[in-house]
Amino acid sequence: MGAERIGEVFVSASSEGRAAPTPYRVVGYPTVDRSVELAQAALANGADMLELGVPFSDPLADGPVIQRATQVALEQGATVSRCLEAVSALRRRGIVAPLVLMGYFNPIVAYGIGAFCRDCSEAGVDGLIVPDLPPEEAGELERSCGPVGMAITYLLAPTSTDERARLVAARTKGFVYLVSVTGVTGTRDHLPARIAEFVERVRSLTSKPLAVGFGISSPGQAHQVAGLADGVIVGSAIVRLAGEPDGLERVGEFIAALRRSGVRT
């Protein structure tokens, strides 16, 4: 079951005294085949779990780096079906780590919610993150995910009230995704000043694992977050490296550094 497999990642990482590094990759960038190789390289170099971005023409939660990668992926023909084929390819290569699709709700609706969840499960997807779908509107997707054992993870922003945090924590499966900033994805020079307060507040409201994403740009910042949260999600910095001529090597090196930086001191 997806939620259990995802939960096991955080239990294992915690037992080793570290946070779980979770890189985000846009499926189809710089090409569909290359994105599979990059995902495999990330896992080989210490990633505990992968977020695989499903390209969409209006990625409202994403900054310029991921927006550009998404556009390139769409031009490369990275449809929902091809994203699922990429997941299947990773499973055929022996990948057993949790694979979570992150994408917007419109492509899911266009595909057909029930069919999408069924095909995700058959491909080997463990969970979904749909940033533009709040839990109040996710009933049909949750009902379709349940029978096939897929987790849905919801996001919390720093501006979320305690009431909202309790709702999200109750409905989310696998882990709670804490958005570090009130803005879009992208690299930043500094972590928000009140990130520790945010994590501690949500920690007091739920026992589920907490992973922080948006704006984490370096191993040093990842180390700071690792002292607070159970998981560290890095997107734009890795997507940028993936577009370089030596992207495979650079992504691998970056993930290895993230893994080392996740050790708590």
- Per domain, the residue ranges of the chain are 2-154+229-258
Decide if 98 contacts 125 (C-beta within 8 A). Answer: no
Give, in degrees to the nearest 5, the angle at Cα 76 between 32 and 114: 70
Report mean pLDDT in 10-residue bins for the chain, 265 residues: 89 95 95 94 96 89 85 94 97 97 96 98 97 95 95 94 97 94 53 86 97 87 92 92 93 93 74
Q: Is 51 a catalytic site residue?
A: yes
Instruction: Give the model's pLDDT for residue 214.
Output: 83
> Which positions ≥6 away from 11 have C-beta within 8 Å?
none
Give the CATH H-level superfamily of domain 2-154+229-258: Aldolase class I (3.20.20.70)
- For 145, the token pair is 């995910």
Half-sphere exposure (Cβ direction) of 25: Cα atoms closer than 13 Å: 37
Give the type of residue at 150: M
pTM (global) more than 0.95: no
Q: Is 8 a catalytic site residue?
A: no
Separation CA 210–CA 223 (nearest Å): 15
Q: What are the beta bridge partners of residue 179?
A: 213
Separation CA 261–CA 223 (nearest Å): 5
Instruction: Give the model's pLDDT for residue 186.
Output: 43
Instruction: Give the model's pLDDT for residue 1.
Output: 65
For 19, which DSSP code?
A: P
Q: In the chain, which residue ranges form alpha helices assigned H by DSSP?
A: 2-15, 32-44, 64-75, 80-92, 105-111, 113-123, 139-148, 162-171, 195-203, 219-226, 236-242, 247-261
- Count CB-CB contacts under 10 A for residue 71: 15
Separation CA 264–CA 232 (nearest Å): 12
Instruction: Give the model's pLDDT for residue 133.
Output: 95
- Count CB-CB contacts under 10 A for residue 3: 21
Kindly name the residue from 48, 51, 119, 126 that is annotated as catalytic.
51
Residue in the block written with tokens 């449809």? 79
Kindly name the residue from 48, 62, 126, 230 that is annotated as catalytic.
62
